[in-house]
Structure 1
Amino acid sequence: MLPRPIPKEPAPWAFPTPQERALDNGARLLVYPVPGQHVISTRVVIPAPLSSEPRDREGVATLVSRTMDEGTEQRTGEEMAELLERNGVGLAAAATEGGIVMEVDATRPQLSTGLELLTECLSQPVFDQGEVRRHQRQRLADIEQALARPASRAALEWIATKYAPAARASRPSGGGAETVAAITRDDLAAFHRDHVGPRGATVVVAGDIDVDEATADVARTLGSWGAESGSAATEPADNPTAADAARIVFVDRPGSVQTEIYLGASGPSRRVPGGWAPYPALAYLLGGSPSSRIDALLREEKGYTYGMRATFRPRLRGGEVLVSGSVRGDVTAESLDLLLGVLDGAAADGFTAEEVKAAVDFVGKTAPARYATADVIADEAAHLAFDGLGTSFVTDYLEGLRSLDPQRLQRDWAAVAHDWTVVLVGDADAAAEQVRALGRGDVTVVS
């Protein structure tokens, strides 16, 4: 009989290393050769942070990102859409805290066409009045929908409570109803002129492509994007915390049978001293799986929720630790008390060696699968570019996982697990007094 094989520990995994080139117009190029990934993913990262928007026109960056492909100096929006569909090219854009990302996904034979159309949208948008109005109405509808959904309503109330009113982070990234309604076609053109340009931008290309071929394609297309365009080098602003952030806000939804819980505190940025490694592990231990501490109690033992999640969200300046999910309305106060007990208990009592090993194994050993495709590699590189970091950041924190121990995780969790800002969205008449009775902070009810 053959002896039973003994599994070995997998070898350490590293994020793919890019080849970097400089384009003549001031942008930099990062090429990630990924064999077998025949759909090439391209991202253009334009670091024009949301804090660069005029205060009375917040949302203009979002509308710019949504309308740059809705007509150019060479073709109408319908012609652009038809050409993209005919060539099987996917083109999209979005505005984030750090700036605007435009993306193109295309097979190798159609990559040149995709890059040409992307360059055209970046350099020659006309911001047709009809299309601007259409996207403006759509954004206003998005705002109404966000207020109607408990999860997004809770997130909006949380940022408004957590951050000082002057902070850009206290308001929706896509702008509010008043500021979006005030935006004109000329506002889009002015923002594009002033902030959307190649200087300071990063181009990421990932897929099964030769580095020299990718460089030549990008230099011929995006490299012609005029250097006379606006600079994308605006520095992000700080986001100060409100003086009364550590409190409980109950958003009243009469008759609601569930309560959305959304709580958080200030957390680390990606540049935190000691490295990022502890934070994905902490998120997994507390709210990253059905066996995490939160779900083990509130879902598996009590049956109060379908599931709650914990996460660390780094920002360009600082960051946040967040826990969210919905519970049965009739156990709102008890659920909140139990949830805060889990979070406080982890800071006071720490974690076992078995828990730490499970978290390290999950975060580290699933990384190769999480970053297996070209689009995910390109997305990760784009997000890190906003923060001035390369994808070696991922390799470094995965390596740092190997040295984590219970003492380190308890220390790092205790450093952030306090001064909670708590938002509840549910039936305040049925639960607000019970929440007050917990004695866990001032409770404010809003409609």
Structure 2
Amino acid sequence: MKTLKIILFAFLLSGVIISCKQEADADKNVAETKEFKVDFEKFTLDNGLQVVFHVDRSDPVVAVALTAHVGSAREKEGRTGFAHLFEHLLFLESENLGKGGLDKMSARIGGSGANGSTSRDRTNYYQTVPKDALEKMIWAEADKLGYFINTVTEPVLAKEKQVVKNEKRQSIDNRPYGHVNYVIGKNLYPKGHPYNWQVIGSLEDLQNATLQDVKDFFNRWYVPNNVTLTIAGDFDTAQAKKWVHKYFDEIKRGEDIPKLEKQPVTLSETKKLYYEDNFARLPQVTMTWPTVPMYHPDSYALDVLSTYLSEGKKAPFNKVLVDDKQLAPQVVMYNYGSELAGQYHLSVRGFEKTDLNTIDEAIAEAFTKFETEGISQKDLDRIKAGQETNFYQGLSSVLGKGFQLAQYEIFANDPGFINQDVKNILAVTVEDVNRVYNQYIKGKHYVATSFVPIGQTDLILKESTLAEVVEEKIVEGAEESFDASIAAKYEKTPSSFDRSVEPPYGETPQVNMPSVWKEKLISGIEVFGIQNDEIPLVQFRMHIRCGLLLEKADKVGVSNMLAELMTKGTQDKTTEELEDAIESLGAEINIFAGDENISITGSTLAKNYDKTMALVEEMILRPRWDEKEFDLIKQSVISQIQQQKANPRSIASNEYAKLVYGEDHILSHNNLGTEASVGSITIDDLRQFYEANFSPTITKVHVVGDIDRVAVTSSLANLDKNWPQKEVKFPVLATPEAPKESKVYFYDVPDAKQSQIRFGYRALAATDKDYYPARIMNYRLGGGGFASQFTQQLREGKGYTYGIGSSFRGSTIPGPFTISSGVRSNVTYESADLVKEILTNYGKNYNQEDLDITKSSLIKSNARAFETFNSKLNMLINISEFNYPDDYVTQREAIVNNMTVDEVKRLSNTYLDPNKMIYLVVGDAKTQLKKLEQLGFGTPVLLNDDKEPVKN
């Protein structure tokens, strides 16, 4: 990904969990939780490198993370976005890794894919690998830190600028509300404050970055005394310590780096700004107050405050804005603490054409409601229970533990803070919550932004002024040319040993398949489980086979609305009471509809599993059928559909499904429905769908965690006994034919900064004998990340895109083969033509080296196949949904080992014909449509020719 991720420190603690509350014995529950400790060893090299080890022998894998204490806050004005640009550069090459750097090695060693992220205050580089590759990773990370800078050339810098600019277009410029954070930053933090600019920076600053800037940045910040190396997983610490000394010791210490002082801000006035957003269909107001840095004692109470005010049925903001006044489908609120300062966000996206001044009045009313009623001890306890669960979930992988150990080392000066953090969460009092509200929010100045659709400035907050936003102009042929393949010429950095020799593998790890147990209950419910006691949690996924698959074309959206309504209370509990019961357990229960299933998913502390499943049972057997909640859901869904109409990525997904399946096929529809279909749905339609299609005979339950088989089956006894069996009839679906010849389709989004491309056709089911072999074949094409030809040529070679990939996505029903990307608008044709060329030559040019890299990656990555709860759940679902054998992973290993170059060529000739595909482009028709005729597939079909295009 190598992407900008403004990661909130609280990402372990404050995930938006719709359902997680607590009951009267909450204090007892907290006390019963066994103390959870993460043991570690820390040492410091003479050059200042901080090293943190954590041993976890649950899986034969190791996570390695290199974290530099530098982010956008250490940049200079005029060179914004530099820390993030530098993150990209560091992956490309180093003196001894050579071209392709760690990305190329990752493909061979079965790694998770070398990745990185940049925040305001730090940049990290990370990967999880099989344990036998640990020395290779230590060698590679040392090469990046000490032997990198000579390899950066002007052409390499020019190419990576294009990649980063594409990332900015994709994540900010070409999406609704993408500029909100830019406007907030410019107005919350004064000029010169390190948080005044965005992490990704400006396109102008990125373009102006010079090679000397790169070298100066590296020499200042990428020095051992500003870096932490974290290793977590199954490894020998004594041996690892020797390797760390061997590869890192002779990297020279840099200049001393002074500690940045905290720089919290205050506002002398409330600032109101507005902007007409080309991609917005709905008005949105965002209010931001200055608060405290991360780890400040008040940050924990601010987290609780945001959760209490905005999440769940009893939240004051939900009661006023969502339920009573029905101005918006939801309210988003969170506290965001960084190293130097913090900010508190409140965001409301109103329904279509809602006056934001009306929302502003409702916000004031909701705050007054809180001031009058306050927060109870019971509410505080239920919120803390959910935060505790989230904390454990964040530590469920060795990479998660490694991340947090590094984070605490850098920002709390002690990795051991990982064992204190959850205690601080649980120590918050009612008085703390009320105090921080009065200290940071009540009556305090803030920044308010009104983002509205083009031409709807009548909706903005009173006394708002126009925000300054720099919109990029895409000009044909304006981008500079470069040849990133030109090798750098330099004198190699001296070393006491030959660093060009890649270390050998260690002892091959023994991959132990998780033990799967199965049970079929009397009612027909099938249960699949894996017991795992690494952390005191249980996760589950229940699939009821229905969803879009069983809907009527004129009532599309029923299953999605039913899934939503099932979370809104039961016959015995109101919505508020149900949420309170769930959250009191520190649990999470979500219900959502997909193409082929309605899924009930959740997680809970192991000690509360039985009580959690009792609530699941109640939700299934005794839905509430609340008319008011149904009306609120309908408004919310219509709002989502309206917004999707202006989001190029959503447009591409929806239009591609129509083209792949044909408009008469039920799977051609977006399962949200259309404004018309949702408008026609009644609560009786939901009830009829439920009565006809909810049955234990088509239900499968998957459970992973700190619980055994007997306890799981026992928890389902009442559901098994009381859920009546029904015969559910599944329609016979016609199998859409793949195109006999290629055709280009275009959807016009005027002035789009990027073009979304979706190329492909209806291909294979997951049960087809060629399905997994075809995925093996696709690895070097577009399924292998940075090891794939699409990425190497369109991103690394040309700088056309931030990311591109291809995949086969089948289930029991044949699904599509899809090539997907967002490309710079002014190279839309060039990108499509290059994809076509790669497809044409892929099979004929495929060789033994391609196959060897594919085999090495797929076989060695099996060491990581079962590390997390989610990976174990996915394994169970593959076994239950597709009738795969329990050892299917081992069987797939044999398929990989037996694959030949000739077989890949056969598969390529069969499944990768560029002349028999759908070519869909969503972009700016006035500049890009005509050029696509050069692909040789005739005149492109303009899909919204007779419809209203996205407004400019």
Which whole-Å CA distance do the structure 2 matches of 1:415 and 1:113 have between them?
Answer: 52
Residue 198 of structure 1 and its aligned partner are, at CA, apart by 0.8
Residue 139 of structure 1 and its aligned partner are, at CA, apart by 1.6
Q: Which residue of 1 aligns with 2:937?
A: 440
Q: Does the Cα contact within 8 Å between 1:161 and 1:242 map onto a contact in 2?
A: no
Q: Does the Cα contact within 8 Å between 1:47 and 1:386 map onto a contact in 2?
A: no
Structure 1 position 41 matched with structure 2 position 549: no
Q: Does the Cα contact within 8 Å between 1:63 and 1:136 map onto a contact in 2?
A: yes
Q: Which residue of 1 aligns with 2:633?
A: 135
Which whole-Å CA distance do the structure 2 matches of 1:426 and 1:362 have between them?
Answer: 35
Residue 59 of structure 1 and its aligned partner are, at CA, apart by 1.2
Residue 78 of structure 1 and its aligned partner are, at CA, apart by 0.7
Q: Which residue of 2 aligns with 1:364?
A: 859
Which whole-Å CA distance do the structure 2 matches of 1:433 and 1:194 have between them?
Answer: 50
Structure 1 position 253 matched with structure 2 position 764: no
Amino acid at match of 2:792: A
Residue 214 of structure 1 and its aligned partner are, at CA, apart by 2.1
Residue 56 of structure 1 and its aligned partner are, at CA, apart by 1.5
Q: Does the Cα contact within 8 Å between 2:739 and 2:918 map onto a contact in 1?
A: no
Structure 1 position 424 matched with structure 2 position 941: no
SS in 2 for 1:317: coil
Which whole-Å CA distance do the structure 1 matches of 2:645 and 2:741 have between them?
Answer: 21
**Most deviating of 33-42 and 75-84:** 33-42
SS in 1 for 2:723: coil
Which whole-Å CA distance do the structure 1 matches of 2:875 and 2:643 have between them?
Answer: 29
2:516 equivalent among 12, 18, 27? 18
Q: Does the Cα contact within 8 Å between 1:283 and 1:312 map onto a contact in 2?
A: no
Q: Which residue of 1 aligns with 2:587?
A: 89
1:272 equivalent among 762, 768, 790? 768
1:162-181 equivalences in 2 (<5 Å): 162-181=660-679
**Most deviating of 230-239 and 204-213:** 230-239
Quickly say closer, same or farther: Cα 1:302–1:67, change in 2 above 3 A: same
Residue 34 of structure 1 and its aligned partner are, at CA, apart by 2.3
Q: Does the Cα contact within 8 Å between 1:91 and 1:103 map onto a contact in 2?
A: yes
Gaps of 5+ in 1: none
Residue 333 of structure 1 and its aligned partner are, at CA, apart by 0.8
Residue 65 of structure 1 and its aligned partner are, at CA, apart by 1.3
1:342 equivalent among 830, 833, 838? 838
SS in 1 for 2:541: strand
Q: Which residue of 1 aligns with 2:871?
A: 376
Residue 138 of structure 1 and its aligned partner are, at CA, apart by 1.7
Q: Please give the per-residue CA displacement for 1:182-223, whole angstroms capped at 9, x wherever unaligned.
A: 11111111111111121131111111222222222222x432
Residue 119 of structure 1 and its aligned partner are, at CA, apart by 0.5
Q: Does the Cα contact within 8 Å between 1:287 and 1:309 map onto a contact in 2?
A: yes
Q: Which residue of 2 aligns with 1:53?
A: 551
Which whole-Å CA distance do the structure 1 matches of 2:939 and 2:859 have between them?
Answer: 40
Which whole-Å CA distance do the structure 1 matches of 2:689 and 2:549 have between them?
Answer: 12
Which whole-Å CA distance do the structure 1 matches of 2:622 and 2:596 have between them?
Answer: 23
Amino acid at match of 1:265: Y
Quickly say closer, same or farther: Cα 1:159–1:72, change in 2 above 3 A: same
Amino acid at match of 2:758: Y
SS in 2 for 1:326: strand
Higher relative contact order (CA closer than 8 Å, sequence separation 6+):
1
Amino acid at match of 2:629: E
> How many aligned residue pairs are there?
442
Amino acid at match of 2:854: A
Residue 36 of structure 1 and its aligned partner are, at CA, apart by 1.4
1:171-250 equivalences in 2 (<5 Å): 171-219=669-717, 221-228=718-725, 230-232=726-728, 234=730, 237-241=733-737, 246-250=742-746
Which whole-Å CA distance do the structure 2 matches of 1:280 and 1:14 have between them?
Answer: 23
Residue 231 of structure 1 and its aligned partner are, at CA, apart by 4.3
Which whole-Å CA distance do the structure 1 matches of 2:666 and 2:759 have between them?
Answer: 19
Residue 322 of structure 1 and its aligned partner are, at CA, apart by 0.6
Structure 1 position 408 matched with structure 2 position 903: yes
Q: Does the Cα contact within 8 Å between 1:164 and 1:243 map onto a contact in 2?
A: no
Residue 319 of structure 1 and its aligned partner are, at CA, apart by 2.1
Identity of paired residues, percent? 23
**Most deviating of 186-195 and 127-136:** 127-136
Quickly say closer, same or farther: Cα 1:284–1:196, change in 2 above 3 A: farther
Quickly say closer, same or farther: Cα 1:244–1:334, change in 2 above 3 A: same
Residue 28 of structure 1 and its aligned partner are, at CA, apart by 1.5
1:65-80 equivalences in 2 (<5 Å): 65-80=563-578
Q: Which residue of 2 aligns with 1:299?
A: 795
Amino acid at match of 1:439: G
Instruction: Report the structure number with the largest CA radius of gyration.
Output: 2
**Most deviating of 140-149 and 14-23:** 14-23
Q: Which residue of 2 aligns with 1:109?
A: 607
Quickly say closer, same or farther: Cα 1:439–1:292, change in 2 above 3 A: same
TM-score (norm 1): 0.91
TM-score (norm 2): 0.44
Gaps of 5+ in 2: 1-241, 243-501, 945-952
Q: Does the Cα contact within 8 Å between 1:201 and 1:232 map onto a contact in 2?
A: no
